[in-house]
Each structure stands twice: as C-alpha cells, then as structure tokens.
C-alpha cells in the first residue's frame, strides 16, 4: 500500500478543525470563529502541500498511482480549495463554521484520492467521498429555501447517476473479471467486443458527465450554482471539475483505450468518441443558448460552465501528444477564471445586491478594481486574447482539428467556434451593465474586504499571465506528463 | 522601431487608466502625446524602410519564440503595405484625439479604450505570425464595443452589439480557417511567410479561402455582410466612427489580402469572379442607399461600403495596378471618411444636436458654421474622387486594373462613382446651400475650436498631399507588390 500521507493530513485537519471550533472558539463572535477555523483549514492544506513537495515518493500499487502528474494536480486542487476557503471568510450564511470547513476539507481529500485511483472501485469510493460533503455543503445555508432545493437536487441527480455508474462498473467487472483499469484494457484487446460492453460504457460515463455538468446531465447545475452558498458553488465549479475531468480522462484513455471508435464526419464507429462528441455538441449548444436569456449572473455562469465542459471534451479528440496538455491547460485556467468570477459575485452579493444582472448597473463606478477583475474574467471566459481563456480554447481547437487525419473532427471545431462567437453576447451583457449603464442614484462606492479582494486580484493576474505566457504552464504540464505514465 | 507603435499605444492606454478621473486635461494631453508619438514612430519607420529596403521585401522587427508547443512566434515585421496602413492609423489616431477634445464624461476611460483599439490595430498591421495577428485582431473588437455602447448616440447599444457580434463571427470563421491551414500544412508553424511557401491542395484552398476571406471581409464591409457598418458608424461617437471607417474596415481588407489571398492563391482564383461581383454590388448598392438617407452619418456610412467595394474590387483584379490602387484606396478612404465623420459628428452634431438633413436644411449652416461647410465641401470633393485628391488616383488605378479583367463590372463600378458624386452633391445642397425663405434663425453655434481646426488641417493636408504627390506612398506600396511574396498572386492575372 502506498503512503497517502497528504490525504491523511487533510482528513486529520478536518477533524482538528472541528475540534478547534468546538473547544477553543465556540463562545467567540462569528467573524472571529470563521477566521480562526478558516486559517486552521488553510494551514492543513498548506502542510499537505509542503509535505508533498518535500517528501513525496512515487510508485504504483494495484489500486493507486502516485506520480508527478497526480502530485501536480493535487497541488492545483489544494490551491483551489484554499482560495475557496479564503473566499468563505466573508460569508455569513451559517453559524456552523467548524462543520463547513471540515466538510470542505473532506471533499478535498476525496478529490485527492480520486486523482490517485486507478481502480474502478476506488474511483467510485473516492467519487462518493467527494460528492457526499458537497451535497451537504450545497444545502448549508439553512435560512435559504433555494439552498435546500439546491442540495436536494444535487443529491438526487448525483445519487441516481452514481447508481448508473456503479451499474456500469459491475457490468465491466462481469465482462472482464477485473476492476483495474489497465487490466480491463488489456482484456478488452484480446476478447471480441460484445454489445453489452457498450451498455457498460454508456452507464459508466453517465456519472462523469453529471460531475462535469455536460448536457444532457446538466440540469442540476443552474440550480446548484445559484442556490448553494457562493463559495460552495465556487468549489463545485472549479476544484470538483478539475478532478472529474482528470478521472474521466483516466478511465477513457487507460481503461477504454481500445474502444475509442471514431466520431469523424461520415466515418462514425461505435466507441466512446461518438458518445463524447454527442455530449460535447449538446453541452456547447444547450449551454450557450440557455445562457443568452439568463438574468441572474450565477445562472449565467452555470450555463456558461455547461458550455465550457463541452469545449473541454474536445480535447479527447486530439492526438496523444496534445490531448492531455490541452485538456489540463483548459480545465485549470477555466477553474481559476470561474473561481474569480464567482468570487466577484460573492463580494457584490455580500454588499447587499442580489445577483440579478440589472443590479450590477454602473458597478465600475462603485467598485472600479472589482469591476476591472470581472472584466478580465468575463472576457477570458468569452475567449478574448490575450487572456488565458483564449489560448486554452485555441489549443483545444487546434488539438481537436489535428487529432484525426484529414481534418476529421473539424465539424466539431466549427460547432464550438461558432457557439463561442455567440457566447460573446451574454458575457458582454454583464460587462455592459457594469461599464455602460448608469449606477442607480444614491449608490455609494463600496470597498471589498481585503480577504476577498486579494484572492480576486491574484486570480485576475494569473488569468492574464497564463494568457500572455502560456508557455510556463504548458512546460510544467509537459514535464509532469512525460515523467508519468497515464 | 515600428514595433513601438504598438507598445506606445498600449502603454498610453495603461497610463490613462492610472490617471485621476477628475483631471480631464491631463487625460487629453496624454492621449494626444500617445497618438503623436505613434505617428512619429510610424513616419520614422516608413522613411527608414523606404531608404533601406528599396526592394519592398518584408523586414523583420521582432522574431522570438512565444509558445513553442504549437510553433507560435512573436513575429512582428513590416513591408510597404503594412507601413502604409500604419501611417494611416497614426494619422487617424491623432485626428481622432483632436476631434474628441470635448469628451467630458469619463474622459480617461474613453481614451484608454481608444488606445487599446489603436494598439490592436497597429498590431494586426505588423504581425506576420497568424496566431499573433489573430490575437491583435480580437483585441481590437472589445474596445470598439465599449466605445460605442458607452459614448455613442443613436441606438448605441444595438449598434455596438451588432458590430461586436459581426466582428466576432467573422473572426470565428478566420480562426477555423487558420487552424485548418495549420493542421493541413503539417509544418508546425503559424508563421505567415512559412505557410505561404506551402502549397495547399486545391480542394482545401477552395473552401479555406472562402472562409478566411469572407471572415475578414465582413469587417471590410463586403456586401451582403456590410450591415453592421452603417448602424455601427451612426451609433459611434465621433472618434470611434472615424476609427471604424478609417482604420477598422481596413483591418478586414488588410487581413483578406495578407492572409486569405497570400495563403490560398488557388482558392482566390476559384472565387475571383464571384467576389468581384459582390464588390461591385457593394459599390453600387452602397451609393444608391446613401442617396436616400436623411441622417448624414448614414450617408457617409453607406458611402464607406461603396468605397470599400473599390478596395475589394482592386484586390480581385490580381493585377499590379489594381492591387496598388486597392491599397492606396484603403489609405485614401481612411483619411477622407474620417474627415467626413469628424465634420458631421463633431462640428455639426455636437453643436446642432441633429444630423437630419431635413432639420439641417432651414438652419443656414453655411453662415452659421463656415469652417464646417468649407471642410465638408473639400472632403466631399475628395470623397467623390475629384483629381487633386488621393481618392482619384486610387479609384483610377482600381478601375484601370479591373478593366482588363472584368470589363462589364468595371462599367458598373464606374457608374457607382457617378452615384457617389450624386449623393455627396445632395448632402451639400441640403445641409449647406439650401435656399431658405425662412428668415435666419437667431441661433448661435459655438465657434470652431483649435483642436478641431488642427485635426481638419491634418486630414485635409494628407489627402491633398497624396493627391498631388502620390509617389510618396506609391514608392512604399509598389515595390512591395512587386516583391516575391505577392508573385504567386499575380501569376494568374493579366500583367
């Protein structure tokens, strides 16, 4: 068994946080408790990261893999989690701060385990370890019926799709007698493909399509993004998405590698590629079109997240050198961007405005710095250079167009590029309110709390930096990918 | 050297953002300084280029690896065509600042967006890596939107969004074409000069050319994709209309020439006749619609469609003289349309608060605003293509080139010039020289200010200078169009 010390550190700090809240600061005021408990949680993540950086050993067991790639992604996930925690400092939706941070830490531990697992059973367990805290967190704002609805919706969709996935896994086990991804692939190569394989494939993919919010398994996303406490929505939209995309890639490429089929125009063959192509087209089209008519910023971000999940799926059609760097670059930069956008929403919400787009009128005159950051995030999501969203999309599209011979997947790129052109409309709607509309009379300048503003500025700087000089992240990704077997 | 035009503009934009909001004077002077610095750098670079590179070849300015994973380089370079357009941008930028001197509301933000746009435009003209060119092309879209939506007039939000979406859809078409070219070439590079050496298979060229050409030509006002132009021009504030007509439409034409035509010469020859037909339809249609407009800005907006039709027609001739005419027409139209928009937007609309010919008719503008009248009449004459102005030489060359390739279309285009004279005469008569029975109204218009005069003289001087000594620009343009890069283009056409 490999040492999973970082995961253990995170889990231990979850309990430590509960204890600290209970024993040390229970009688203090809410802001102090939030600060103390939040700092404890961040400390736990930091220790886990330092441990990974200094002592991590690599290796493979039958169920788990520890290599530079998993370590790099765990670092990314812990960073995202810490940003979410810092953003939670200003939130006032619950008195149960100890439980809140402990659940976040547990979800992070689930994600870390998910990254390392190479066995379908472990993947399923890790997925549940991630999901269950998130169901609870979505419903954490007890004073808001929308939050309860979000939690229930997330739970119902999540558990049903998880059941499908479990069913798919059991079929796979029945067919191959194995749960190890690499041995499943090896057995698939030798035996003829039976129709029930395809049932297993579709069933298994359902759970992951749900996790990454790809259409038609996206119906939970708008309600959860809108109803859940904003920092929780941040976590679901960013860290949880990175982890889910990673494990989706691992299952498809390692486990189902021989079954890829083809989604080339006029050359369809059964396998996971046509399935992903359908998911991608549906997500891109449904997400972008539904986003056009949204009046709430959070719902708009939710539908845009569905569209972005569709774009990210394009990476799977790339060739083996470009597929993973394109996917990870895109998913990581997207997470940072959407985290920033949600953080701005949270600050504006805390200042007293609901998240209706019309309430953002003239924000640039009330909070110039915050508006400038939102400008960066929105344009990055729209794919405007020189921001990271542009290069991410460009790389995805190039990879997908070049993946199959004779521009086989160009049709999908055309769909994605066209939809992305339309998406500019709704991102500009938000920015138009912020920059062009007149602020309501009597509105005052408001100052964002430093705990929120600093991470937002940091994220905006990163979004710009990764857009202007994507080489750094790409280089890092290619180093870790080359030194890890995927 | 020339690369600094880009950096100066973006630095100027950044400096403007950091200025205190109350200090409008500082914002204006920073803006003027930035624009002038860009123009001076452009002029110096042009003189240098003309001295050192009589062959008209492409000269590298910066060439560094940027994103090695995809073979993307930060490659800035220049040749006679791009330098001509850099000069145009410099002049238009200075004039635009001068004509925006009266912007009171959020002055520094206005100029910051203005220079973000200008920087993007300079960048497009100087990029020789397709990825980089595309980056600058897209950077130019967003400031346009905000300039129009925040500071514009008639139906500004509609006009701004229409323009932004047309540009973005056009650039999406370009993006698909570029990615496809990158993949098909297999050369692992986005460098224009490298890709131009690659001969793409003919069936691929047929659709890729159409995609990229039309994608760019949307911005050049190619009929029937021109509809953003009149609404956008009308909605935009004065300086933004000047830039839209003066520079942004040239981005489209330049992209079509630099990217679509250079990369896909076979596709070009395949579609040559059809596009020439669209260009001529644009010339005649734009002029005819301009003939019946009531709003002067709509007249000029449609006239832009008509004049850009000459640029596209010139490009499609694939003859030496036609291409030279097209590039010269880009320059000439940029100056003249900018001037017309400046007179209408700044000198007339800002003072009378109307651009409606019916309302202007009883005002006796020739007495109230003599400077505006004189400027508009001269600019109108330049727009008609009268000898002595830059437009004359440009349109003459385009028609001469077209005559040998599409004789029938050329006759139609010639008729388009007559329509151009007609709509301009109509505006002159209605706006300035109407005979009124009504007694002169006791309206007093604010006198012309110094910045306006300076801007008007700058633009008028340029068009007259080029009209009288076209050699100044032809020495830049002509050797480049004879250079190796453009040879594959001209092989198919008549000499």
pTM: 0.92
B229 touches chain A (CB under 8 A): no
Closest CA to B55 of B88, B85, B84, B79: B79
B18, B65, B74, B142: best to mutate for the A interface, most A CBs within 10 A: B142
Residues 161-180 in B contacting A (C-alpha not used; CB under 8 Å): 161, 164-165, 168-169, 171-172, 175-176, 179-180
Q: Is the dihedral of CA A125, A130, A133, A139 positive or negative?
A: negative
Q: How many helices (H) and strands (E) does chain B have?
A: 25, 2
Q: Give bridge partners of residue B129 from the DSSP assignment.
A: B191
Percent of chain B beyond pLDDT 70?
A: 97
Q: Which residues of A159-194 are buried (b: 16+ CB within 10 A; e: fewer)?
A: eebbebbbbbbebbeebbebbbbbebbebbeeeeee
Burial group, residue B52, by CB count within 10 angstroms (0-12, 13-18, 19+): exposed
Q: Which of B139, B145, B150 sits opposite A385 (nearest CB)?
A: B139
> A428–B179: do the CB atoms touch at under 8 Å?
no
Whole-angstrom Cα Rg for chain B: 21
Closest CA to A248 of A336, A332, A155, A315: A315
Whether A106 is covered by a domain: the verdict is no
Pairing assessment for the beta strands A267-269 and B59-67 based on DSSP bridges: unpaired
Nearest residue in B to A388, CA atom: B135
Q: Give bridge partners of residue A64 from the DSSP assignment.
A: A117
What is the pLDDT at residue B357? 79
Question: Which is higher by pLDDT, B141 or B491?
Answer: B141
Whether A153 is covered by a domain: the verdict is no
Q: Is the dihedral of CA A11, A12, A17, A23 positive or negative?
A: positive
Interface of A with B (CB under 8 A): 325, 379, 384-386, 390-391, 394-395, 397-398, 401-402, 407, 410, 413-414, 417-418, 420-422, 424-425, 428, 431-432, 435-436, 470-471, 474, 478
Whether A265 is covered by a domain: the verdict is yes
Contact of A328 with A244, CB cutoff 8 Å: no
Distances (CA, A) of B465 to A22, A372, B395, B471: 83, 43, 16, 10
Q: CA A449 to CA A453: how far, in whole Å?
A: 6
B14, B20, B21, B67: best to mutate for the A interface, most A CBs within 10 A: B67
For the stretch A315-329, pLDDT in tens is: 999 888 888 999 999
Whether A433 is covered by a domain: the verdict is yes
Per-10-residue mean pLDDT, chain A, length 486: 81 92 83 88 93 82 85 93 89 83 94 91 92 93 89 93 93 89 86 84 90 89 91 92 92 83 78 89 94 91 94 90 91 94 88 79 86 93 91 92 84 91 90 86 77 90 93 90 81
Residue with tokens 């009308």: B234
Instruction: Tell whether the model's pLDDT for residue B344 goes beyond 80.
Output: yes
Whether A78 is covered by a domain: the verdict is no
Q: Which of B131, B139, B169 sits opposite A421 (nearest CB)?
A: B169
Q: CA A316 to CA A324: how far, in whole Å?
A: 8
> A421–B168: do the CB atoms touch at under 8 Å?
yes
Contact of B451 with B98, CB cutoff 8 Å: yes
Whether A111 is covered by a domain: the verdict is no
Provide the shortest C-alpha distance from residue B444 to chain A (in Å): 32
Distances (CA, A) of A117 to A8, A251, A325, A408, B396: 15, 10, 20, 33, 73
B157 touches chain A (CB under 8 A): yes
- Domain count for chain A, please give it: 1
Nearest residue in B to A411, CA atom: B176
> B131–A397: do the CB atoms touch at under 8 Å?
no
Contact of A272 with A206, CB cutoff 8 Å: no
- Domain count for chain B, please give it: 1
For the stretch B439-495, pLDDT in tens is: 555 567 788 888 888 989 999 999 899 888 888 888 888 888 888 888 877 765 433
Contact of B195 with B258, CB cutoff 8 Å: no
Domain that holds residue B379: 4-492
Contact of B249 with B384, CB cutoff 8 Å: no
Residues 6+ apart with CB under 8 A from A377: A337, A338, A340, A341, A344, A459, A460, A463
Whether A70 is covered by a domain: the verdict is no
Q: Which of B142, B145, B184 sits opposite A407 (nearest CB)?
A: B184
Provide the shortest C-alpha distance from residue A18 to chain B (in Å): 46
What ipTM describes this predicted complex?
Answer: 0.90
Whether A252 is covered by a domain: the verdict is no
Helices marked H in A177-257: 181-190, 195-211, 220-227, 230-237, 239-250
Percent of chain B beyond pLDDT 90?
A: 36
What is the pLDDT at residue B255? 93
Nearest residue in A to B167, CA atom: A421
For the stretch B244-267, pLDDT in tens is: 888 999 999 999 999 999 899 888
Question: Average pLDDT, stretch B299-319?
Answer: 91
Instruction: Tell whether the model's pLDDT for residue B361 goes beyond 80.
Output: no
Contact of A231 with A169, CB cutoff 8 Å: no
Distances (CA, A) of A244 to A77, A477, B476: 11, 18, 57
Instruction: Tally the C-alpha atoms within 13 A of residue A206's C-alpha that lie toward its C-beta.
Output: 19
Q: Which of B70, B134, B171 sits opposite A395 (nearest CB)?
A: B70
Q: CA B320 to CA B331: how far, in whole Å?
A: 17
For the stretch B188-223, pLDDT in tens is: 889 988 888 888 888 899 999 999 999 999 988 888
Q: Can you list the positions of beta strands (E) in B252-348?
A: none
Contact of B357 with B376, CB cutoff 8 Å: no
Nearest residue in A to B141, CA atom: A384
> B168–A424: do the CB atoms touch at under 8 Å?
yes
Closest CA to B242 of B351, B343, B109: B343
Provide the shortest C-alpha distance from residue B259 to chain A (in Å): 18
């Amino acid at each position: 068994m490999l040492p999973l010390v970082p995961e253990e550190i995170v889990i231990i700090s979850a309990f430590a946080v509960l204890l600290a809240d209970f024993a040390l600061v229970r009688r203090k005021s809410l802001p102090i408790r939030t600060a103390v408990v939040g700092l404890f949680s961040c400390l736990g993540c930091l220790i886990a990261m330092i441990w990974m950086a200094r002592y991590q050993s690599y290796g493979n067991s039958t169920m788990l893999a520890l290599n530079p790639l998993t370590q790099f992604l765990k670092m990314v996930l812990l960073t995202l989690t810490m940003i979410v925690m810092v953003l939670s400092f200003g939130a006032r939706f619950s008195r149960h701060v100890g439980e809140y941070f402990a659940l976040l830490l547990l979800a992070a531990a689930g994600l870390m385990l998910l990254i390392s697992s190479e066995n379908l059973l472990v993947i399923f367990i890790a997925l549940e370890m991630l999901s269950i805290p998130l169901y609870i967190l979505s419903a954490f704002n007890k004073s808001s019926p929308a939050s309860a609805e979000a939690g229930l919706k997330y739970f119902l969709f999540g558990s049903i799709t998880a059941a499908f996935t479990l069913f798919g896994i059991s079929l796979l086990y029945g067919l191959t007698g194995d749960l190890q991804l690499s041995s499943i692939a090896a057995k698939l190569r030798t035996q003829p493909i039976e129709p029930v394989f395809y049932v297993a494939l579709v069933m298994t993919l359902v759970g992951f399509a749900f996790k990454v919010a790809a259409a038609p398994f996206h119906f939970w996303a708008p309600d959860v993004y809108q109803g859940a406490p904003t920092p929780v929505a941040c976590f679901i939209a960013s860290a949880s998405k990175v982890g889910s995309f990673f494990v989706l890639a691992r299952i498809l490429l390692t486990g189902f590698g021989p079954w890829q089929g083809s989604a080339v125009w006029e050359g369809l063959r059964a396998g996971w590629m046509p399935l992903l192509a359908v998911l991608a087209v549906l997500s891109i089209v449904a997400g972008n079109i539904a986003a056009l008519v949204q009046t709430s910023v959070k719902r708009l971000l939710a539908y845009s997240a569905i569209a972005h999940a569709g774009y990210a799926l394009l990476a799977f059609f790339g060739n083996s050198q470009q597929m993973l760097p394109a996917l990870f670059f895109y998913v990581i930069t997207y997470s940072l961007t959407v985290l920033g956008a949600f953080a701005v929403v949270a600050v504006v919400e805390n200042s007293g405005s609901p998240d209706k787009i019309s309430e953002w009128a003239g924000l640039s005159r009330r909070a110039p710095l915050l508006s400038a950051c939102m400008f960066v995030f929105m344009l990055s999501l729209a794919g405007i250079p020189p921001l990271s969203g542009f290069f991410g999309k460009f790389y995805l599209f190039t990879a997908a167009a070049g993946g199959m011979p004779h521009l086989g997947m160009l049709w999908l790129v055309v769909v994605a590029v066209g939809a992305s052109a339309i998406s500019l409309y709704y991102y500009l709607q938000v920015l138009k309110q912020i920059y062009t509309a007149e602020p309501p009379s009597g509105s005052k300048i408001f100052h964002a709390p430093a705990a929120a503003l600093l991470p937002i500025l940091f994220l905006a700087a990163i979004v710009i930096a990764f857009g202007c000089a994507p080489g750094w992240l790409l280089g890092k990704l290619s180093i870790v990918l080359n030194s890890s077997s995927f | 050297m020339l690369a600094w035009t880009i950096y100066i503009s973006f630095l100027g934009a950044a400096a403007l953002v950091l200025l205190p909001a109350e200090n409008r004077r500082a914002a204006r002077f920073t803006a003027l300084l930035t624009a002038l610095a860009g123009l001076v750098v452009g002029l110096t670079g042009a003189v240098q280029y003309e001295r050192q590179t009589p062959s008209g070849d492409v000269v590298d300015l910066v060439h560094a690896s940027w994103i090695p994973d995809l073979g993307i380089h930060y490659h800035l370079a220049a040749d006679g065509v791009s330098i001509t357009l850099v000069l145009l941008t410099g002049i238009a930028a200075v004039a635009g600042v001068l004509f925006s001197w009266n912007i009171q509301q959020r002055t520094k933000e206005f100029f910051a967006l203005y220079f973000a746009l200008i920087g993007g435009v300079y960048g497009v003209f100087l990029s020789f890596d397709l990825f980089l060119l595309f980056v600058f092309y897209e950077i130019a879209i967003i400031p346009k939107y905000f300039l129009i939506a925040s500071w514009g007039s008639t139906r500004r939000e509609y006009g701004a969004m229409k323009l932004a979406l047309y540009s973005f859809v056009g650039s999406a078409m370009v993006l698909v074409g570029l990615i496809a070219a990158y993949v098909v070439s297999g050369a692992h590079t986005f460098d224009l000069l490298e890709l131009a050496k690659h001969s793409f298979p003919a069936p691929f060229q047929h659709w890729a050319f159409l995609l990229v050409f039309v994608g760019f030509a949307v911005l050049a006002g190619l009929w029937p994709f021109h509809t953003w132009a009149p609404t956008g021009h009308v909605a935009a504030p004065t300086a933004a209309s000047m830039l839209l007509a003066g520079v942004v439409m040239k981005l489209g034409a330049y992209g079509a020439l630099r990217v679509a035509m250079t990369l896909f010469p076979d596709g070009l020859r395949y579609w040559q006749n059809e596009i020439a037909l669209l260009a001529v339809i644009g010339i005649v249609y734009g002029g005819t619609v301009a003939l019946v407009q009531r709003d002067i800005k709509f007249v000029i907006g449609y006239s832009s469609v008509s004049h850009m039709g000459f640029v596209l027609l010139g490009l499609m001739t694939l003859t030496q003289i036609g291409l030279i005419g097209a590039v010269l027409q880009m320059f000439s139209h940029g100056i003249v349309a900018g001037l017309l928009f400046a007179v209408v937007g700044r000198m007339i609309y800002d003072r009378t608060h109307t651009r409606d010919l019916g309302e202007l008719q009883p005002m006796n503008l020739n007495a109230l605003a003599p400077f505006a009248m004189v400027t508009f009449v001269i600019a109108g004459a330049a727009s008609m293509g009268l000898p002595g102005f830059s437009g004359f030489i440009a349109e003459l060359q385009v028609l001469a080139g077209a005559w040998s390739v599409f004789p029938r279309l050329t006759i139609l285009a010639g008729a388009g010039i007559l329509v151009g004279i007609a709509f301009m005469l109509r505006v002159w008569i209605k706006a300035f020289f109407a005979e009124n029975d009504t007694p002169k109204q006791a309206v007093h218009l604010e006198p012309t200010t110094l910045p306006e005069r300076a801007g008007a003289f700058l633009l008028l001087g340029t068009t007259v200078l080029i009209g009288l000594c076209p050699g100044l620009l032809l020495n830049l343009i002509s050797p480049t169009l004879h250079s190796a890069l453009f040879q594959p283009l001209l092989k198919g056409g008549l000499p």
